[in-house]
Amino acid sequence: MTPDRELGWNDALEASWQSIGAPGEPGRVSRIDRGWSTVMRHARDDQPLRIRNLYVDVAVGDWVVPSDDGEQVAHIVERTSAFTRRASHEGDRFEADVLAANIDAVFLVHALGAPPNQRRLERELVLAYDSGAEPVVVLTKVDLVIDAEPTRSELEAVALGVPVLVASGLEHIGIDRIRAYAAGNRTLAFLGASGVGKSTLVNALLDDEVMDTGEVRYADQRGRHTTVASQLLRLPGEGWLIDTPGVRAVSLWLSGDGIERAFADVFDLMDHCRFRDCKHDQEPGCAVQAAIERGELAPERLTSLERLVAEEAALEAEQERYVRRADRRRPPRRSGRGQSPPTG
């Protein structure tokens, strides 16, 4: 049986699966509970498999091949995208924590009615590009403001052509434009600070009260609800949605070319500096400083870039130190920058 395209199977996944000899019958992980994966075999599977995920770092959204005895995950089909949290060091294990996999479009959610936060958006764009998903910015809670334009144009200035949508989860405004990204059985996910309105957007998309929102828990006085378990949810019409807790922009993994893409304007300027090793500080002929002087580049954007580059370098150094130490203690394993999760 070929995997169900309605469940999100696509040409890229097919090619990866073929490249490992097209084993078994891949299904998609819809949730994970302490070592157990729930695996759907087709889009309307109401009796999904429950199998063990021993020795494999499975994430919600993954396509997995069950073992012949149907008891455990035998392979993970190579991911088209992955949200990865910073490695946690546990004993001599060195692992990045994959929160969600095979996401096609990621919505970077900001709330209107609060000051626009360009720095946060820059960081989220880096993480989105690094994940491999297509970023889209959503400004929600539009019902709270008279004019969304000032905030929109401030965030557009750092979005560099990434679409910036306006919506309200509460008032069901702009929901169809978000849903349109799921056409072709694609998978959506939401990233953003706590309280910006992600769960409310998810509810509006599902047209249902699937996710708890802050308000709900305020009522029963147990404090804010934060989504606790990732799950793959079917959207009405077509497409999928992964609701992920803890995808806070602060602690994610940095790797790949996310910084280069999110700061493409600054990198373009850097190509025009007189000296190849320009530090973009006091050097003569620095195209970056010239753009700042002309008012074409905000100095905060350069600072923001430098901070992210330093952070990535520190993370890499830490990884390398850790891997070197671990390598002295046991046989070599794949490691290094942007360490790819095991795929089987």
Among 70, 163, 184, 195, binds ligand GTP (CB under 6 A): 195
278 is a contact residue toward Zn ion (CB under 5 A)? yes
Looking at the Cβ atoms of 68 and 277, the one nearer to Zn ion is 277
Minimal distance, residue 241 CB to ligand GTP, in Å: 13
Binding mask 217-236 for Mg ion (x = CB under 5 A): ----------x---------
Looking at the Cβ atoms of 76 and 249, the one nearer to ligand GTP is 249
273 is a contact residue toward Zn ion (CB under 5 A)? yes
Which DSSP string corresponds to 248-303? -TTSB---TTHHHHHTHHHHHHHTTSSSTT--SSS-TT-HHHHHHHTTSS-HHHHH
Which DSSP string corresponds to 143-160? GG-S--HHHHHHHHHHHT
Minimal distance, residue 213 CB to ligand GTP, in Å: 4
Alpha carbon of residue 186 to chain centroid: 14
Q: How far apart are the first and last CA of the chain?
A: 20
302 is a contact residue toward Zn ion (CB under 5 A)? no
Between residue 259 and residue 298, which ones bind ligand GTP under the rule CB under 6 A? Answer: none
Number of residues that bind Mg ion (CB under 5 A): 3
Minimal distance, residue 219 CB to ligand GTP, in Å: 10
Among 28, 41, 141, 152, binds ligand GTP (CB under 6 A): 141
For residue 85, give both structure tokens: 């949290």
Among 168, 199, 230, 231, binds Mg ion (CB under 5 A): 199
120 is a contact residue toward ligand GTP (CB under 6 A)? no
Minimal distance, residue 200 CB to ligand GTP, in Å: 3
Instruction: Tell me, letter by letter, the H, E, C secondary structure of 294-324.
Output: CCCCCHHHHHHHHHHHHHHHHHHHHHHHHHH
Tell me the Cα Rg of the chain.
22
Looking at the Cβ atoms of 201 and 297, the one nearer to ligand GTP is 201
- The closest alpha carbon to 126, from 319, 311, 343, belongs to 311
Among 227, 230, 304, 319, binds ligand GTP (CB under 6 A): 227
How far is residue 276's CA from residue 259's CA, in Å, rounded to a whole number? 19
State the alpha helices, DSSP H only, in the chain.
11-19, 118-131, 149-159, 175-179, 198-206, 214-219, 258-262, 264-270, 287-293, 299-329
Residue 170 binds which of Mg ion, Zn ion, ligand GTP, none (CB < 5-8 A, kind-dependent): ligand GTP
Across the beta sheet with 187-191, what order do the strands follow? 164-166, 134-140, 105-111, 187-191, 240-243, 231-234
Q: Which stretch binds Zn ion (CB under 5 A): 38-46, 73-81, 89-97, 280-288?
A: 280-288
126 is a contact residue toward Zn ion (CB under 5 A)? no
Minimal distance, residue 192 CB to ligand GTP, in Å: 6
CB 182 within 8 A of CB 238: yes
280 is a contact residue toward Zn ion (CB under 5 A)? yes
Between residue 302 and residue 321, which ones bind Mg ion under the rule CB under 5 A? Answer: none
Helix, strand, coil % (nearest 5) of the chain? 35, 20, 45
How far is residue 64's CA from residue 73's CA, in Å, rounded to a whole number? 6
Q: Which residues bind ligand GTP (CB under 6 A)?
A: 140-141, 143-144, 168-170, 192, 194-200, 213-215, 224, 226-227
Q: Which residues bind Zn ion (CB under 5 A)?
A: 273, 278, 280, 286, 288
